[in-house]
Amino acid sequence: MARSIYIFNTHDLPHRAGEMREYQLDLKIPEPVGVDLLSVKPGEVIEVDLRLQSVDEGVLATARVMATATGECTRCLKPITWPIDENFTELYYYELATGKRGSKSKSGKEEEIDLEEDDLRFMVGDDIDLEPAIRDAVILNLAVNPLCTEDCPGLEEKQGQSWAYLSAEQEQTPADQRWAALKDFPLKN
Ligand SMILES: [Zn+2]
């Protein structure tokens, strides 16, 4: 499996509390990041200004995440672009600090501990996985109901026209899904 673009190797950062490094990352994303209505599309770049600090427990990442999401206005369906600019802070614990991660037993006790650990992020060797933090930051910055403008009039203004168009379209759409699939097929003759 290819290495995730979100995994960042921190080998430049000495594991001594107080050490700090800054990086600028341009992550060309392979999968959409966001929600159904509004997302940063595959192939787009998410810029991350990343600051890593060594602390006693691990590596503290502070980042600014910048990108442009695209989608549709939820009222009028016009395409919209949505600038994203969000910060996050995430602490990645050293693997050693967790004790026996490599030798999990199947007893109930151990599983309880694992559940608590779900909220914590751990380093794998020198690697930190920035994906959950970046995804959260992007989603946090998106509107639940994105609009092209705050006072978008929606479709109501041209309601007569739109409904006429819709019903004509519906009449032409065969009920059978197999024929529906052919609807978009280019017919040259
Ligand atoms: Zn709109």
- On whether residue 167 sits in a domain, the answer given is no
- On whether residue 172 sits in a domain, the answer given is no
Q: Which residues place a Cβ less than 5 A from the ion ligand 1?
A: 73, 75-76, 78, 148, 152
- Which DSSP symbol is given to 2? P
Which pLDDT belongs to residue 59?
96
- On whether residue 170 sits in a domain, the answer given is no
Q: What Å distances lie between residue 181 and 149, 165, 173, CA to CA?
A: 34, 20, 10
Say how far apart CA 85 and CA 91 lie, in whole Å: 20
Q: DSSP letters along 10-30, please?
A: -TTS-SSTT-EEEEEEEEE-S
- On whether residue 185 sits in a domain, the answer given is no
Q: Is 170 helix (H, G, I), strand (E, B) or coil?
A: helix
- On whether residue 30 sits in a domain, the answer given is yes
Residue 50, domain extent: 7-154
What pTM, to 2 d.p., does this model score?
0.71
Structurally, the chain folds into a number of domains equal to 1
Which pLDDT belongs to residue 169?
47
- On whether residue 159 sits in a domain, the answer given is no
Q: Say how far residue 61 (Cα) sits from the centre of its chain.
A: 17
Cα 155 to ligand 1 centre (Å):
8
- On whether residue 96 sits in a domain, the answer given is yes
Query: Per residue of the chain (189 residues), what is the pLDDT tens digit?
Result: 678 999 999 999 998 999 999 999 999 999 999 998 899 999 999 999 999 999 999 999 999 999 999 999 999 999 999 999 999 999 999 986 445 444 444 444 444 445 455 678 999 999 999 999 999 999 999 988 899 998 998 876 554 454 444 544 444 445 555 555 555 555 555
Which pLDDT belongs to residue 32?
97
Say how many Å lie between the first and final Cα of the chain, rounded: 46
Say how far apart CA 74 and CA 70 lie, in whole Å: 12
Cα 40 to ligand 1 centre (Å):
19
- On whether residue 166 sits in a domain, the answer given is no
Which amino acid is present at 23? Y
